[in-house]
Structures are given as C-alpha cells and as structure tokens.
Amino acid sequence: MTAPTATTAASPAGRRWWAQTRIELLLTLRRGESILLTFAIPVVLLAFFSLVDVLPTGTDDPVDFLFPGVLALAVMSTALVSVAIATGFERQMGVLKRLGSTPLSRGQLLGAKTAAVVVIEALQIVVLVVEGTLLGFRFSGPSIGAALLAAVLATIAFAGLGLLMAGTLPALTTLAAANGVYLLLLLLGGMVIPLSKLPSGLRAFSQALPSGALAEVFHGALGSGSIPGHAWVVLAVWAVIAPVAAARFFRWE
C-alpha cells in the first residue's frame, strides 16, 4: 500500500459489471440446490414423463408437449426461484449492503444479476434442446423469434417477482414462498399438465399468470403453431408490473 494522498477512483463501469457478473455465475453454479432446481429437475422431468407416458399431454408423443413446457419451467426456475432465494439471503446477510458502499452501483448489480440469469438460461436451453431432440421432439412449427421474445418478457416478469419477494420478505420466508410458488406454477403453469385439463376457473387463473402465458407461447411457437394473443398481453403486462413493483418496494437492508 502506498500513501493514499491523491483521489482514488473507481474502475471503468464495464469492468465492475463484468466482475460482478462473473461472481454471480460462479456462485450460482457452485450452489448445489440451484443446480438441482435449474438443471436436474427440468432434465429429469422431461426424460421421465417423455418415456413414461402417464401425463394427459394430448399429443401422440408426450415429448411434443413436454419439451416446450419444461423449457418454460426452466426459465421460471432460474429467473424467479433461483433469483429470489439467492437475493433474499444476500440481502439478509448484508451482502447487498456491503456492495452498496463500493463503487458498484445498483444498476450495475442488477445488470450483473440479469446477465447471469441470461447465461444460465442459455445453458439450460442448450441442455434441454439436446435432450429433447434425443427424446424425439420434432420442431413442427418452430418460430424461434417468438419463443425468444416470450423468454425475454417472462424473464423480466419472473425476475421482477423474485426480486420483489427477496426485497420485502425475510430470507427464509422467501425461500419457502419461492419453492411453494415453483410447485404451484409447475402444476398450474401448463408446463407438465396442459391448461386444457384444468377446470375452467383454474384455467383462466393460470392463463393470467406469466407461467401459463409463457407455456402457451412456447407450445405455439415450438409445436402447434398458433399462439393465443392473450398470452402476449399477459406476458407484457407482467413484464411491466413486476419490475416496477420490485423497484418500488425493494428494501436493501
């Protein structure tokens, strides 16, 4: 150390963001429970129910329904559940507070978290596409652009909800709530059980959630070819409301 006489400066903004992104990724991949949630469960669900035809998928080959559904599940598990749990504990343990006293800005922190989510999702998509293809999924009406757009909107919506939970609830409550929401949306999100099999009231409810809307777009874009217009509206609305609410209510300590 030399005498700190002159004004000390921050590193360039891009460098701060990249360092934070790297550590977010490193720590996410090091956490066993996050790997279980984001990789193991989707991969196992897709393989198991594609090979064991017990779900009322309504398609000739269950993988044709399950592949888009599990893809939606993967997006939700990363952007909602993983983000909520990790951020909740970071907040409770004072990690966010401490970062607040460094030159890393809130914008850079959020940017880093976003980038880490995008990278994890990309890895999930690669793994699931390989698996889906091996299990015999046929890209009958693939509209990659629509699927990607829906993934982006859903990621924004889910991450907003995750941060809203993490920023307002105690960490353990967030952990429990995130897992509860995960299970609920897994069953009601049109991911492993078609929305058409749900009672009509429950179906309408599910279609209004970002999970159901995302699954509908994925099924349309990667399979049946028709995407219901209301799904886009639902996704867009959540993609606005959730981050705005998170920004409004998030408490850093």
Partner 1 sequence: MPAIEVDRLTIAYGSTRAVDRLSFTGDFGEVLALLGPNGAGKTSTVEAMEGYRRPNEGTVRVLDLDPIAQQDQLTPQIGVMLQSGGVYPGIRPLEALQLHASFYADPDDPQALLDRVGLTHVRRSTWRQLSGGEQQRLSLALALVGRPRVAFLDEPTAGVDVQGRQLIRRLVRELAHEGVCVVLTTHDLDEAERVADRVVIIDHGRLIKSGTPNELMSAGGSREIRFGAPPGLDTAALGKEMIAAVEEVSPGEYRVAIEPSPANIAALTNWLAERDLPLADLRAGRQRLEDVFLRMTQITGEVPAVRIDPPQPPARSGRGRRRPGAA
Residues forming the site for partner 1 (CB under 8 A): 1-5, 7-11, 15-16, 18-20, 23, 26-27, 30-31, 89-90, 93-95, 97-105, 253
Alpha-carbon distances of 5 from 1, 8, 9, 10, 252, rounded to whole Å: 11, 8, 12, 15, 32
Best CA proximity match to 78, nearest among 107, 113, 106, 48: 113
Nearer to partner 1, 99 or 247 (CB): 99
**Looking at beta carbons only, is 16 or 219 nearer to partner 1?**
16
Q: Are 190 and 211 in contact (CB under 8 A)?
A: yes
Here the contacts of 108-113 (C-beta below 8 Å, separation 24 or greater) are 108/13, 108/16, 108/17, 108/20, 109/20, 111/17, 111/21, 112/17, 112/18, 112/20, 112/21, 112/24, 113/24, 113/83, 113/87, 113/159
Give the nearest distance from C-beta 199 to partner 1 in angstroms: 43
CB nearer to partner 1: give 178 or 192.
Answer: 178
Q: How far is the CB of 170 from partner 1 (least distance, A)?
A: 13
| CB of residue 165 to partner 1, shortest distance in Å | 19
CB of 176 to partner 1, least distance (A): 19
Query: The tokens of 25 are what?
Result: 């990724």
For partner 1, the closer of residues 92 and 143 by Cβ is 92
Q: Which is nearer to partner 1, 106 or 197 (CB)?
A: 106
What's the rounded Cα separation, in Å, for the pair 149 and 178? 24
CB of 27 to partner 1, least distance (A): 5
Kindly tell me which of 97 and 197 has the beta carbon lying closer to partner 1.
Answer: 97
Give yes or no for a contact between 82 and 163, defined as CB atoms under 8 angstroms apart: no
Greatest CA separation for the chain? 74
Nearer to partner 1, 99 or 123 (CB): 99
Q: Minimal distance in Å, beta carbon 11 to partner 1? A: 5
Task: Measure Cα distances from 121 to 35, 175, 201 in Å.
Answer: 12, 21, 32
CB of 48 to partner 1, least distance (A): 30
